[in-house]
Structure formats: C-alpha cells, structure tokens
Structure 1
Amino acid sequence: MTKRLPLSVFIIAQDEADRISRPIESVRDWVDEVVVIDSGSRDDTRKIAESLGARVVHNDWAGYGPQKRFGEDQCRNDWLLNLDADEEVTPGLAAEIKARFADGSYRNADGWRVMIRDTFAHEHEPATWAYGYHQIRLYDRRKGRFSQSTVHDTVRPEAGAQIANLSGIMAHRSLKSLDFQVFKYNRYSNMQVEDMEMRGRSIPRLRLLTEFPLSFVKGYVFRRYWRYGWWGLILAMNYAHSRFLRVAKAYQTDLVKERSS
C-alpha cells in the first residue's frame, strides 16, 4: 500500500456529478484525506464523492472565498492542497509533490504555486501552449489562508511567508460544453458587478467600445487560442463576450441608479 502523505485535499462543489470523480481520483491514493464541501447538490455529487472515499461536508454557499475558508477548517492536516471540481492533478504534478514530501523539501516554502492549464473536453491532457496561470494551491494554512472575497478565491500568504513554484501542471477542465460556458459567464458577470458595487467601483463607459475587440485580441493572440484553429476562434469570441457582458451589466446598473435618483 502506498504511504499516504500528511496532506489534506479539499474541493468545493455543487451539482458536479459528471466531473467530481476526476479530481478525487487524481489524489485519493496518496493523500491522507479528501474533503468535499458541498453547497447543496441536487444530483449525485455527494454519493459519487463518498463512493470514491471522500468525506463530504455540507455548507450553504457563501461565496468562493468564504466557502474555501470553511473547507480549510474541515481539514485535519495543516498542509493543504486545494482543487476545484473541474481540475485534476496530472501524474507529473503528483510525482513532484510526492518527491518533495519524501525528502522534506516541501518545507522549503510555506506555499507553492501551481500552473493551472486549460484542458478541453476533446483533450486527454493540456496542450503545451494552453493558456494557464499560477496560483498558490499547496500551502501551510498556518502561513496563509484563502481570502474572504466572495468572487475571488485566492490564497493570501502572511507577511514574510515564503512562496515558490512547482513545475508540475494541474489540468483545468472548466469548459464541459458551450452551453455551460455561456451559463457560467452570465452568472459570474452578475457576481462581478455586485462585487464592484459593494466596493464602490465603476467602469468607464468608453470600455463599451473597447472591451470586446481588446479582449478578443487578448484571447486569440496572447492566450494563444489561435493555436486551436476554429475551436480557438470560438474560445476567443466567447471570452470577449464574457468581458463585454460585465461592462454592459455595470452600465445597466448605472442607468437604473440614475433613473431612481
């Protein structure tokens, strides 16, 4: 039997029956525990997670940051690895984490950034050119916790904490269908506008003209969506639309305020 690392994995989820197995199966054989924080699934998310050996805890949805902070508190180890329900640890990343725990070098830092790369439904693994971003996902919760933001879920290290990068990749399967993507963009843009209102932020109206074309260029060129051919064109168009939608909804909110004042 493989020796399990003194590491807790936690995953927030709701109605993820069709993909909750991937993140759990990518870690369950070598970590001490997997904890799934379910915010009220109406499908078989809970049943599937438990059948794979995860411990499932219910917590009503309070926003991304608060939900992940609740997840941190449910873990029995101080060293945590956070996964989303649409992510999975690749074999290379798993081997790297195991090696660092074996020789103790994981203690060389208080938190480790992981490269998270887009992986689409027709792909087995991320393309080498796939868009990705670094986030702290392996960390000592005594030296950093997720932020309280309801929209942005980011680990905030304490002052003086040492942060380093892992070389392994985490696969990010956020797009399971175009229908799902449109629904997600619509919901998330609502949350972004609400967050801006709470913080007293506004968006210049000129961005109604510039947001779509500039975002298209960002996605198609700088995120390298062009490498995917026609599929990349679709990705860039949808990305630009999602960015424009946020600006449009913020403008709509301003119009309503002006009329009511």
Structure 2
Amino acid sequence: MSPPAKLSACIITKNEADRIAACLRAINGLVDEIVVVDSGSTDGTTDIARNMGAQVFHNDWVGYGPQKRFSEDCASHDWILNLDADEVVTPELYAEIKALMAQGPDLPAYRFKLRNVYPGKSKPRLWADFHNYVRLYDRRKVRFRESLVHDTVDTKDEPVGQLTGSATHFSARSYAHIRQKLDSYTNLQAKALKKPAWTIWLRLPFEYPFVFLRYFVFRCHFTGGWDGVISSHLAAEARVKRLLKILKAQKSLKAQSE
C-alpha cells in the first residue's frame, strides 16, 4: 500500500464569477490546496477564488494544454485533481477520492466521468452523455499534453484506474454560449487539422445528418426532449462549420503560396 498523498486542485479560469464558487465549494475539505490560474478575468472571478482560500496566479492565455500544464507547475503537491470552473464534484466522487488519497493511490492516474447538464438545468438528464477523462493523477508520471486544442492527459502507457463517482459538468450558461464555445473551438481545430480538400468535400453533404443522428440517437439526447434537439443541432452545425473553416484556411494558404 502506498503512503497517504497530499492533493492539489488545479483550475483554469477566465470570467467564471457565476460558476467558480460552486466548483470550489464542492472540493472544500477534499484537497490540501487550490490553485487557480486566471487568464485575465474582469468579473471578480479571482476575488471569489481568493476569498474561498485559493492561491491565484495570472497567466495570459496560451492554449488549453499549455494553460493546464502551467497550473500543474504552480501546485505544491504532486498529486493533482484537475478541474474546470464549470465542473462540480459530486458527494460520491468526493468520498471516493478522499478515501483513495488517505490510503495512498496504487496507480499513477485515475479517470472519472463528467456528466453533462443542459443550460438552465440543475442535474444531468436520463442517460446523459459524459466524457471519461483522466483528471486525478501524479504529475511526476503523467501530465497534460501541450496541445492548444485538446486538454487531455498524456498517460504515456501508464496504468490508469477508473473511479465510480462522477462530476457534474455545467458546460454552458445558455445555448448562445454553446454556439460561441463551439465556434471558438472549431477555429482552433481548423488551424490544427490537416486534411486533403477532396475528403472534406466528400464529407460535407453527410456531416450534418450523421452528427445529428449520432448525438440525438446514439448519445441519447432524445431523453432531453427539446433540449436534446437543440444540443444535437448545435453539435452537427459546429462540425459542418469546422469543415468549411478548414477549406477556407487551405484556400488562404494556397493563395499565399502562389
């Protein structure tokens, strides 16, 4: 059995005054320190975080992966619970992590599910879709990737455990906010993805119906009623926009080279 481990929570923020308190409140007593890395909030996010006991650092936005890595470097302890400001640890996950840290983790990294909540709702829908990410880990063994777009942990073939508890993901304040986030995300993806133009033209007519069907049926958004229809539409719309942005970027590069 490994010795008990100290735990640092690392959270990146920008203008999260309406959500950061719930995130921090849910981990009160679970972690030994809270590190908040802010990239220029103007809404009082940093004041709320400090008043709730967090150490706050400023770092200009450098992309998802690099920003997460900066937060890891700011932590005093090697074991990291890496959260976003819109994620709230459930009591079940709290108890599970608390027990794990007390007995000493046997593995270098652990996944747990982030269950999505529709805008304006207080809890996930029936059969809510989720992401299952590594968010609890030993930074001496694994760390976030440098990717500007994808904020995922590079496990380097290290063994990864699965926690049964989950966190609730209040990803968007409104459907307009979802569209804004997806638009920003597809801008980054369009710069990072390199695909032959002919493959994009082939995919374009089928992208919307395929993605809508995948979200509405196979990811069970039909259980969300009208909210499920809107969410599936926005996901499909974003994928089409991504393809169009890739084509536009390729056309611009071609024009510059001529």
Question: Where on the TM-score scale, by shorter chain, does this alignment land: which range?
Answer: over 0.9
Aligned CA distance change for structure 1 residues 61 and 202 (closer, same or farther; 3 Å): farther
State how 1:1-261 maps to structure 2 within 5 Å: 6-104=6-104, 107-159=105-157, 161-196=158-193, 200-202=194-196, 204=199, 205-260=201-256, 261=258
Is the contact made by 2:120 and 2:174 (CA closer than 8 Å) also made in structure 1? no
Aligned CA distance change for structure 1 residues 103 and 206 (closer, same or farther; 3 Å): same
- Counterpart CA distance in 2 for 1:219 and 1:9 is 32
- Counterpart CA distance in 1 for 2:155 and 2:93 is 22
- Counterpart CA distance in 2 for 1:151 and 1:103 is 35
Deviations 1:77-113 (CA, angstroms, capped at 9, x unpaired): 1110000111111111001111222333xx2211000
When the two structures are superposed, what TM-score results if normalisation uses the length of structure 2? 0.93
The worse-fitting range, judged by mean Cα deviation, of 112-121 and 216-225 is: 112-121
Secondary structure of residue in 1 paired with 2:132: strand
Aligned CA distance change for structure 1 residues 259 and 224 (closer, same or farther; 3 Å): same
Deviations 1:127-157 (CA, angstroms, capped at 9, x unpaired): 3410012110000111101000010111112
- Counterpart CA distance in 1 for 2:50 and 2:13 is 13
- Counterpart CA distance in 2 for 1:33 and 1:202 is 47
Is the contact made by 1:17 and 1:43 (CA closer than 8 Å) also made in structure 2? yes
- Counterpart CA distance in 1 for 2:57 and 2:253 is 40
- Paired AA for residue 153 in structure 2: V
Q: Could you list the runs of 5+ residues in structure 1 that have no partner in the other structure?
A: none
- Counterpart CA distance in 2 for 1:127 and 1:169 is 14
Secondary structure of residue in 2 paired with 1:206: helix
When the two structures are superposed, what TM-score results if normalisation uses the length of structure 1? 0.92
For the aligned residue pairs, the C-alpha RMSD in angstroms reads 1.6
Shift of 1:125: 2.5
Deviations 1:19-69 (CA, angstroms, capped at 9, x unpaired): 111211111222101110001112111111111111110001110000000
Is the contact made by 2:116 and 2:169 (CA closer than 8 Å) also made in structure 1? yes
Is the contact made by 1:115 and 1:132 (CA closer than 8 Å) also made in structure 2? yes
- Counterpart CA distance in 2 for 1:120 and 1:25 is 21
Shift of 1:5: 6.7
Is the contact made by 2:125 and 2:223 (CA closer than 8 Å) also made in structure 1? no
Is the contact made by 2:126 and 2:224 (CA closer than 8 Å) also made in structure 1? no
- Counterpart CA distance in 2 for 1:15 and 1:202 is 38
Q: Could you list the runs of 5+ residues in structure 2 that have no partner in the other structure?
A: none
Is the contact made by 2:64 and 2:149 (CA closer than 8 Å) also made in structure 1? yes
- Paired AA for residue 48 in structure 1: I
Is the contact made by 2:191 and 2:249 (CA closer than 8 Å) also made in structure 1? no
Is the contact made by 2:115 and 2:130 (CA closer than 8 Å) also made in structure 1? yes
- Counterpart CA distance in 2 for 1:222 and 1:211 is 15
Deviations 1:146-192 (CA, angstroms, capped at 9, x unpaired): 00001011111234x22110000111111210111111111111111
Shift of 1:259: 4.0
- Paired AA for residue 64 in structure 2: Y
Secondary structure of residue in 2 paired with 1:133: strand
Runs of 4+ in 1 over 6 A off after TM superposition: none
- Counterpart CA distance in 1 for 2:107 and 2:126 is 27
